[in-house]
A and B are shown apart, each in its own frame.
Chain A
């Protein structure tokens, strides 16, 4: 069977794609533009790394109107990229769009690159949310779409180790979308924490 991989051009989702390819599991990469500041940079990176690594060509879904209305540090430059990072409904939006795409292409599951719960900051990164999202999607679509969290037992350090081993390079993981990572946002801080390991 196959799954939809929610991709962002970042390390986590790219690693999931690489591991799936290695195991000969068909997958459909889906990039969701929800109006995030980093959308252009993420999408360009996403296409490039998928091409470099021989992964399936990603599909882009344009939901940029979401970020134009829902202001947060990830969608609005006038807000703080770290302190205002919570974007209500973001991960549910990802799972719903990924599941709708899975429904369309006949895939059984949707994969999201969440890490271990002790590193989570927001409610939509935790187990109760995932269970209920899966139930809601099944109720909405009349068909079970599994939510896969291949990295849910990992910290960022573990992701980096495995990605390095697999030759994953050229990913982008800064919420500002600038060429140079800001070093302040949650995504950049993940890597700094890793350096301290």
Chain B
């Protein structure tokens, strides 16, 4: 697909031809930057900032697109906020849910997870700080994300963003 008019260029051996293709394809492979949408309760903002710092310490090539909504889910402003959130989710390849004891009661987070899945994002991951006691059976979406929940050691998140793909 694309076109050309034929002919041959090289007297190269097959291995050399192969290497040329692989070098160019490696540009896709070598791009490790990730756009991550973090869904979290606004009360957890300070901890999410620590997570961002942690990722930077690990020298990961990440671009976080954080969002935290203070507005009530059923407010008159909600439609406008949802449109803005959708734009942010669309720009990212993965949604990371910051799980704490406040998550279960957040209608916004639940909506953001549903929206991420609807928009064809390959994966929705969750990160759980060890010092929080999530009651996973108390809400509807925990089971869906259970397999991708990563427990940090010593109260620190570990490798959360590495789950992005």
Question: A residues within 8 Å of B by Cβ?
Answer: 1-3, 6-8, 10, 12-13, 15-16, 19-20, 23, 25, 27, 32, 91, 94, 103-109, 111-116, 118-122, 125, 142-143, 146, 148-158, 161-162, 165, 186-187, 189-194, 197
Q: Name the interface residues of B4-53: CB closer than 8 Å to any CB of A.
A: 4-10, 12, 14, 17-18, 20-22, 24-33, 35
CA distance in complex: A106, B9 (Å):
35
B148 neighbours in A (Cβ, 8 Å): none
Do residues B5 and A190 form an inter-chain contact, with CB atoms below 8 A?
Answer: yes
Complex contact B120–A104 (CB within 8 A): yes
Cβ B5 vs Cβ A158 within 8 A: no
Closest 10 CB pairs of A and B: A157-B8, A106-B93, A115-B4, A193-B6, A190-B6, A156-B6, A3-B28, A8-B1, A155-B8, A114-B2
Q: Is A105 within 8 A of B28, CB to CB? A: no
The answer on a CB contact under 8 Å between A158 and B10 is yes
Pair B27/A106 contact, Cβ less than 8 Å: no
Within 8 Å CB of B94, what residues of A?
106
CB-CB under 8 A for A161 and B17, given A2-B28, A19-B25, A146-B31: yes
Q: How far is the CA of A10 from the CA of B2 in the complex (A)?
A: 10
Bound CA span A148–B122, Å: 22
| Contact call A146/B5, Cβ cutoff below 8 A | no
Instruction: Return chain B residues, CB-CB under 8 Å to A190.
Output: 4-6
Q: Which of B9, B27, B35 contacts A158 (CB 8 A)?
A: B9
Give the distance to chain B from A123, nearest Cβ to Cβ, in Å. 12
Interchain residue pairs with CB less than 8 A apart (22): A1-B29, A12-B2, A16-B21, A23-B25, A23-B29, A91-B2, A106-B121, A106-B165, A107-B28, A113-B1, A114-B2, A119-B4, A142-B91, A146-B27, A150-B20, A152-B24, A158-B9, A158-B10, A161-B14, A162-B18, A165-B18, A190-B6
In the assembled complex, which residues on chain A have CB atoms less than 8 Å from the CB atom of B93? 106
A contact residues around B115 at 8 Å (CB): none
B28:A25 contact, CB within 8 angstroms: yes
Q: Taking the nearest CB of chain B, how far is it from the CB of A42, in angstroms?
A: 9
User: In the complex, A151 Cα to B8 Cα: how many Å?
Assistant: 12
Q: A19-B21, A152-B24 are in contact. Are A189 and B6 (CB under 8 A)?
A: yes
Q: Determine the distance from Cα of A126 to Cα of B12 in the docked complex, in whole angstroms.
A: 23
Contact residue range for chain B? 35 or more
Question: Do A119 and B6 touch across chains, with their CB atoms under 8 A apart?
Answer: yes
B90 within 8 A of A: yes
Which of A125, A150, A155, A162 contacts B3, CB < 8 Å?
Answer: A125
Q: In the complex the two chains form, what is the Cα distance from A160 to B17 in whole Å?
A: 11
Complex contact B7–A155 (CB within 8 A): yes
Closest CB in chain B relative to A83 CB, distance in Å: 14
Q: Nearest Cβ distance between residue A165 and chain B, in whole angstroms?
A: 5
Contact of B22 with A121 in the complex, beta carbons under 8 Å:
no
Nearest CB in chain B to that of A13: its residue: B1
- Docked Cα-Cα span, A56 to B14, in Å, equals 25
The answer to whether A1 and B28 touch (CB under 8 A), given A23-B22, A154-B17, A158-B9, is: yes
Residues of A within 8 A of B165 (CB): 2, 106
Q: A25 — which chain B residues lie within 8 A by C-beta?
A: 25, 28-29
Determine the distance from Cα of A164 to Cα of B165 in the docked complex, in whole angstroms: 33
Query: Which residues of the partner chain B approach A27 to less than 8 Å between Cβ atoms?
Result: 28
Do residues B24 and A148 form an inter-chain contact, with CB atoms below 8 A? Answer: yes
